[in-house]
């Protein structure tokens, strides 16, 4: 995966809800579900990465996603999993979890709890990392939780 800053092309994709956007959005965060599928070389994930690279999208993931991925890789009996993960992560911008991101995550989760629609704490932390770093789109299969978060558009694959 390589990043460049060329202008992305615009195209139409079928949206499943109002805040689900085409993958051509400029800044994209890759969720754990997507990265696992990419590691498994699923055609949908591989094709999606290829398209993101071709459109010059700014691709990232978060330190929370990295934790989830290493947790799975290190539990695997194959040391190859960690090596594959290292290679993929070396090409990605990793959004950190610091004080600002943690506060944004807590604000997001508090708002959702007040509305009676809480999400997993890790997803709130991912959202905090994204929103603080001006990433507004996430590629994930975990559509339901991320659709609840104001300011984040979901790209389903």
Domain count, the chain: 1
Structure confidence by residue, pLDDT tens digits, 8-55: 333 333 333 445 545 444 899 999 999 999 999 999 999 999 999 999
Q: Is residue 122 part of a domain?
A: yes
Q: State the pLDDT at residue 18.
A: 41
Per the structure block, which two tokens stand in for 7?
A: 């202008």
Coil, strand or helix: which one is 137?
strand
CATH code, domain with 144: 3.40.50.1010
Pick from 82, 92, 90, 12: nearest CA to 58: 92
Our CA angle for 41, 94, 152, nearest 5°, is 85
The alpha-carbon radius of gyration of the chain (Å, integer) is 15
- Position 157 pLDDT exceeds 90: no
The range of the structural domain enclosing residue 95 comes to 27-155
Evaluate whether residue 150 is within a structural domain.
yes
- 66-81 confidence digits (pLDDT tens): 999 999 999 988 888 8
Phi and psi at residue 61, to the nearest 5°: -145, 180
DSSP per-residue codes, 65-124: HHHHHHHHHHHSS-THHHHHHHHHHTTSEEE---HHHHHHHHHHHHHHHHTT----HHHH
Q: Give yes or no for residue 3 having a pLDDT over 60.
A: no
Between vectors from CA 120 to CA 116 and to CA 123, what angle results, nearest 5°?
115
Give the Cβ contact number of residue 27 at 10 Å: 16
pLDDT at 112 over 60: yes
Residue 94 inside a domain? The answer is: yes
Decide: pTM greater than 0.95.
no
* Structural domain includes residue 35: yes
């Amino acid at each position: 995966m390589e990043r460049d800053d060329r202008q992305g092309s615009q195209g139409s994709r079928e949206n499943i809800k109002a805040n689900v956007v085409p993958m051509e959005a400029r800044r994209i965060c890759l969720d754990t579900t997507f990265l696992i599928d990419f590691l498994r070389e699923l055609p949908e994930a591989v094709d999606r990465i290829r398209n993101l690279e071709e459109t010059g999208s700014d691709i990232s993931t978060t330190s929370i996603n990295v934790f989830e991925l290493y947790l799975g890789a290190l539990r695997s009996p194959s040391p190859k999993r960690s090596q594959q993960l290292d290679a993929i992560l070396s090409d990605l911008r990793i959004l950190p979890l610091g004080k600002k991101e943690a506060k944004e995550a807590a604000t997001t989760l508090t708002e959702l709890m007040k509305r009676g629609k809480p999400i997993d704490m890790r997803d709130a932390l991912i959202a905090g990392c994204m929103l603080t770093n001006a990433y507004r789109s996430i590629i994930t299969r975990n559509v339901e939780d991320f659709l609840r978060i104001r300011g984040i558009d979901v790209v389903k694959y």
